[in-house]
Amino acid sequence: MTTQVKIDRGAGIAVWRQIAEWLKAEIAAGTYAEGARVPTEADIAGRFDVNRHTVRRAIAALTAEGILRADQGRGTFVAATAIDYPIRSRTRFSEIISGQDRTPSGRMIGSGTEPADALLSEALSVPLGTPLLRIETLRVVDGIPVLVGTSWFEQARFPGLLAAYAETGSFTKALSVCGIDDYTRKQSKVTAELVDQEDAAVLGLVSGQPVLVVESLNVDPQGTATQYTRTRMAADRLQVVIEN
Amino acid sequence: MTTQVKIDRGAGIAVWRQIAEWLKAEIAAGTYAEGARVPTEADIAGRFDVNRHTVRRAIAALTAEGILRADQGRGTFVAATAIDYPIRSRTRFSEIISGQDRTPSGRMIGSGTEPADALLSEALSVPLGTPLLRIETLRVVDGIPVLVGTSWFEQARFPGLLAAYAETGSFTKALSVCGIDDYTRKQSKVTAELVDQEDAAVLGLVSGQPVLVVESLNVDPQGTATQYTRTRMAADRLQVVIEN
DNA sequence: GGTAATTTGTTCGTATGTATC
DNA sequence: TGATACATACGAACAAATTAC
């Protein structure tokens, strides 16, 4: 059942808006799936017997809303919707993504050692200046980079962690090697920033785009702080979900 | 005890970085409190016998970190830290802010009626096109605007709501007038966007700044959806906190 | 209410140290 | 070793915004 739609001229609603609403409804109804190409501007213009400029205005409005994405020379596509990233006590990237029928992957893009500054020493409950292991990770969903994370660990407490993480690509497994069989997320703080140059390059964003910044603290079953992470997420590809 | 600090030239650490670290430590130690003015560029330059440019670079680094804020003609100040905005099952703006020894206030900045679109009809479990009451709110902390929210309610279900909200400035009280004695937050989705022109004007932000966008659904004690809200928060003034 | 002083912002130029090929 | 590029540091002058008198 395709809805029969006619353009209502002189009804107080601009023609471009009526076309935009129609397209939006079609997408919501599933006629055009995520990533699918919508009809060309000329097609739509012919279907409603309006000028192509009118259709362009409608598409521009939906593009501004983030519903469509127009690629010159290729066509107009239904924009990918942001992937839900629920934050709960047990938050595991790969489980979350797999659970949404997508393919997670990731790799280490850097590591190093640095002394704990004021923020990190308080979060991890270690003295100021304690040597910390820093691991930088890139997480990818269906081949598209979605977030970069920087994690800090007390170096002396986890001797084999870096090697284990480099090999497995999983904090869960790497911590298990170090004798931490489980961990939970104690607190997360979410804020928004403009992407910096380095993250923009890694995530394939242009500068000036917003990123969601999540700073989180993980604790072991005894309640001892083990891992502090600062995650930068491409805001148009991931959204944080809080369930109550 | 003021730490005796000397600049170490040729030690592999840039002078500007040493000055930045010193300033950061002073702030962490409480020498300069939140909102307080730090010494002028000229003062610091004289104290360490370096060029003013070198001090400016240090200050620029801390500004980028969000630790300092420089106002032309006034001075350089320790930046206000973002207010925590914990999202729990029972989330009430005024209680949250009062609990942090700050003064909340707010006012209605607009209202209207509109038919439910696809998103709203699903969220509020009403048929497409159902008339919805829309209320726009500005929330202020200590005199500084921090967020704007747009809330939607099923109009037929809450006849006196708009008048009651306009009078009390509180959804809790207004809903109580309509027979809803309590409500809880079922789900929140957090993403980041660039502020639009309208919100920028209301929040006193310049365009291009990021905002945290929280879309949340409130339900009554029976579990029926009552209120859908889209909140835009100034990212440098509020941060969402998730406790597990 | 006008003016001077104060403070940050901007733009020149110059010199030096450091990393890379 | 040389050539090159880049970051660091200093100096002088002026513009713009704010505050104090």
3-state SS string for A164-229: HHHHHCCHHHHHHHCCCCCCEEEEEEEEEEECCHHHHHHHCCCCCCEEEEEEEEEECCCCCEEEEE
Cα distance between the two ends of chain B: 40
Task: Quote the tokens at residue A181.
Answer: 């069989």
A102 pLDDT exceeds 60? yes
Strand C bases contacted by the protein (CB, 7 Å): 6-11, 17-18
- Given a contact cutoff of 8 angstroms between Cβ atoms, the answer to whether A214 and A190 are in contact is yes
The CATH classification of domain B15-78, taken from the options 3.10.20.30, 3.40.50.2300, 1.10.10.10, 3.40.1190.20? 1.10.10.10
Prediction pTM value = 0.81
- Given a contact cutoff of 8 angstroms between Cβ atoms, the answer to whether A150 and A134 are in contact is yes
Q: What is the pLDDT of residue A7?
A: 75
Name residue A229's amino acid: T
The CATH classification of domain B83-242, taken from the options 2.60.40.10, 1.10.357.10, 3.40.1410.10, 3.40.50.300? 3.40.1410.10
Q: What is the pLDDT of residue A36?
A: 80
Dump pLDDT digits (tens) for A183-242: 999 999 999 988 887 888 889 888 778 999 999 999 999 999 999 999 999 998 999 999
B216 pLDDT exceeds 90? yes
A4 pLDDT exceeds 70? no
The mean pLDDT of B98-111, rounded to a whole number, is 92
How high is the mean pLDDT of chain A?
87
State how far the alpha carbon of B179 is from the alpha carbons of A45, B2, B112, B176, in Å: 50, 61, 22, 5
Dump pLDDT digits (tens) for B85-98: 999 998 899 999 99
Task: Quote the tokens at residue B174.
Answer: 């207004």
Task: Write out chain B residues lying below 8 Å of A203, CB-based.
Answer: none
Beta bridge partners of B110: B136
Interface test with B, best of A26, A190, A239 (most B CBs within 10 A): A190
Closest chain B CA to residue A241:
B189
A70 pLDDT exceeds 80? no
Domain ranges of chain A: 15-78, 83-242
Across all strands, nucleotide nearest B59 (CA–C1'): C8
